[in-house]
Chain A
Amino acid sequence: MTADPAMRLRWGAASDRGLHRAHNEDAYLAAPPVFVVADGMGGHAQGDRASRAVIAAFVELVGSEFVSADRLDEAVREAGAAVARLASATAAPGSTVAGAVLARSGELPCWLVFNVGDSRSYLLSPSALEQVSVDHSRLQQLLDRGELAPEDAAGYGDRHVITNALGAGIQSPRVDRWLIPASSGERLLVCSDGLTDELTDTLIEATLRAEPDPQVAAETLVAQALDAGGHDNVTVLVVDAVRVDGPVGVIQGGDITVPDLETAAETA
Chain B
Amino acid sequence: MTSQLVVTPSPGTQHGIVWPAGMAMIDAAVTAEAAHELWWAVRQNADLGGFLEQLARQSGNNLLQLSPFAVVLASGEGVKCAVRGAFTIRVRLADGQNTELTGVGASTWVERGLGPVSSISIGADGRDPGEGSAQVLLRDAVIRADALSATVWRAQPHTPEPQAVQAEPAPASPVEPPVPAPVDEELVPPRAPSRPVAGGAAGDIGDSLIKQEFAEPEAAPDLHAATTAEAPGAATLTDADDPAPIGPDDNAAEPAGERRFAHLWDATSIQPVESAAVREPVFIDEVPVPQARHGVASPPARPADEWDAEDHDGHTIVQVASPDGLSAPGELRAPPALETAQAETVLAIRCAQQHPNPPQRTQCYLCGAPCGGGAAQAQRPPLGRLRVSTGEVLDLSRPIVVGRSPRAGRAAGPAIPRLLALPFQHVSGTHLEIDFEGWNVLAIDRHSTNGTYLRREGDAPVRLPEAPTLLVDHDVLDLGHGVQLTMEGLP
Interface residues of A (CB under 8 A from B): 4-13, 15, 20-33, 38-39, 41-44, 46-47, 49, 51-53, 55-56, 59-60, 62, 64-66, 68-70, 72-73, 76-77, 82, 84-92, 94, 96, 102, 104-110, 112, 118, 134, 136, 138, 141, 151-152, 154-165, 168-181, 183, 193, 198-203, 205-207, 209-211, 214-215, 224, 227-229, 231-233, 235, 242, 246, 248-255, 257-260, 262-264, 266-268
Contacts and interface: CB of A to CB of B under 8 A. Distances in A.
B191 interface: no
A232 B335 contact: no
B332 interface: yes
B264 A43 contact: yes
Interface stretch (B289-297, B353-361, B434-442): B289-297
B278 A170 contact: yes
Q: Which 8 A-B pairs have the closest CB atoms?
A: A169-B281, A263-B480, A4-B322, A158-B227, A27-B298, A43-B264, A206-B63, A257-B449
B268 A39 contact: yes
Interface SS majority for chain B: loop
B304 interface: yes
B130 interface: no
Contacts of B270: 41, 94, 161-165, 168, 170
Contact of A160 (B110, B261, B268, B293): B268
Contacts of A260: 426, 449-450, 480-481
Interface stretch (B22-30, B152-160, B247-255): B247-255
Nearest to A229: B113
A192 to B, nearest CB: 10
Contacts of B56: 202
Interface of B: 2, 45, 47-50, 52-53, 56, 63-64, 66, 75-76, 82, 107-114, 220-221, 223-224, 227, 230, 234, 236-240, 242, 244-248, 250-251, 254, 256-259, 261, 264-273, 277-287, 289-294, 296-299, 302-304, 306-307, 315-323, 326-327, 329, 332-336, 338-339, 390, 392, 394, 401, 404-410, 416-421, 423-429, 448-451, 453, 455, 461, 478-481
Most buried by B among A82, A158, A165, A253: A158
A89 to B, nearest CB: 5
A151 B317 contact: no
Contacts of A168: 261, 270, 281
Given A70-B335, A257-B429, 8 more contacts: A41-B269, A51-B298, A69-B334, A134-B410, A172-B338, A203-B108, A228-B112, A233-B267
B271 A6 contact: no
B113 A181 contact: no
B116 to A, nearest CB: 14
Contacts of B242: 20, 231
B266 A255 contact: no
Contacts of A159: 238
17 contacts: A10-B316, A26-B299, A27-B298, A43-B264, A56-B292, A104-B326, A200-B52, A203-B82, A209-B63, A215-B304, A231-B240, A254-B429, A259-B449, A260-B450, A260-B480, A263-B453, A266-B480
Contacts of A193: 268
B413 to A, nearest CB: 10
A106 B267 contact: no
Given A39-B268, A227-B112, A157 B238 contact: yes
A200 to B, nearest CB: 5
A248 B281 contact: no
A13 B303 contact: yes
Nearest to A110: B419
Contact of B421 (A65, A72, A77, A250): A250
Nearest to B273: A163
A38 B297 CA distance: 12
Contact of B338 (A175, A252, A254): A175
B53 A202 contact: yes
Given A22-B245, A27-B299, A224-B110, A43 B266 contact: yes
Contacts of A169: 261, 278-281
A210 B64 contact: yes
Contact of B293 (A60, A88, A158, A235): A60
B239 A232 contact: yes
Most buried by B among A105, A224, A242: A105
B339 A201 contact: no
Given A31-B303, A257-B427, A46 B329 contact: no
A34 to B, nearest CB: 10
B419 A108 contact: yes
B107 to A, nearest CB: 5
B45 A161 contact: no
Given A20-B242, A27-B298, A200-B111, A172 B283 contact: no
